[in-house]
Amino acid sequence: MAVKHTSEIKIKVGLDENKVPEALSWTAQDGGVTNEKAKAFMLSVWDSKAKESLRIDLWTKDMPVDEMKLFFHQTLVAMTDTYQRATQDVKMAETMKDFTDYFADKLDLKK
């Protein structure tokens, strides 16, 4: 299968003098996103040769803790959806959903 098109996603990280993130932005021109500000991001990459997940987790100094809790919850929910679509493992996806509901309940995220 030959590659017909490539698409690029760029993440820009502005650091302070101690190399702590102060500003994050991202661009995905094929998605219509240009230099959009963000407070946090998580990137996971699968290394099939080493059979391990590599990741980058960054957040700005001014990311509020309450927003970080929401960010984690929404990321866990999205990962649950992705897991089910990718594996068709409904039983485990339901277990994961139970956990995300528990997570939200314990952090008083659900209204």
Predicted confidence (pLDDT) per residue in 6-44, tens digit = 999 999 999 999 999 999 999 999 999 999 999 999 999
d(CA 100, CA 83): 13
Contact 23, 59 (CB under 8 A): no
Distance CA 75, CA 4 (A): 31
Going by pLDDT thresholds of 50, 70 and 90, the confidence category of residue 48 is: very high
Average pLDDT, the chain: 96
pTM of the model as a whole = 0.87
pLDDT of residue 1: 81
Type of residue found at 11: I
Measured distance CA(60)–CA(23) in Å, rounded: 6
- pLDDT for residue 50 is more than 70: yes
